[in-house]
Structure 1
Amino acid sequence: MKLNDAVLGTIFVLIALVVLFQARTFPTLPNQPYGPGTFPAIVACIMLLCGGGLILNGVRSRDPVLVLSGWIRTPGAAGRMTAMVAFVVLYILFSKQIGFPLLVPVLLTALLWVMQVRLSMAVPIALLTTGAIWMLFSKLLMVPLPLGLLTEVIY
């Protein structure tokens, strides 16, 4: 699936305008020419320029607004996309109660199975990926992931 650059550019410009107007509402610091809104305003200006460039490129190309790739017409594509969204929603709903280490391997294995990966490959991939994500967040980034049912076991 490919969107015309003019559409993406318009989205960039709209987001940039919202950020720019929000950044102007940030309080200023006394005796300083810049404040907390400076960096978001700079990013918004860059987004405005890039969005404008995308709009120009999209209008000049005269490509259709939306081009669907061949894979989207294959049998089961809609089901696989729906499963992806469903698994994200399930994670949001149950991660605090069940916990990341117990929920993610199950969801990831199920998602890989829906994506037609053999279970003999899906289970190790899900376990290794869960472990890697856990280590990345807990050790490197120091961001706690929900333990859920394991809270009492670990602590």
Structure 2
Amino acid sequence: MSDSSHPPLAPKHLGRSSDLPASPQAAILDYVANPRANELYLVRFAAPEFTSLCPVTGQPDFAHLVIDYAPGETIVESKSLKLFLGSFRNHAGFHEDCTVGIGRRLYDEMQPKWLRIGGYWYPRGGIPIDVFWQSGAPPEALWLPDQGVAPYRGRG
């Protein structure tokens, strides 16, 4: 992981061929200067096909992730985020560890004004698990739309 006080600003993935990282720890997230650093605004990334592995059974787990953040001096480069999220495909971790770990790493490295992540996990064993984390109270006057993911209802 990079030094969180000095996020890299020279993208390593943008415009280049990049392989899927072997693990989340090996993934390099790229950050670039925020072109609107003086504005308060929200950025949303949705990853409706996120996958990881159950650390006990090795079976695949599936989630719809929604990441919202109010940028500070930098923004995350989307290709590097895609590769980072894809690196979880062979990562064994509980839903809570994956969701909170993704949010925490982005927050620590990017240093946005605010960040939240919703992990809407599909059921295994008959129980859906939804995991939510945020860095603190959102800035006043920041428009926060609903994350738009309906609670799991099964067939009904």
User: So what's the TM-score if we normalise by structure 2?
Assistant: 0.27
Which has the bigger relative contact order, CA under 8 A and spacing at least 6? 2
TM-score (norm 1): 0.27
Higher Cα Rg, which structure: 1
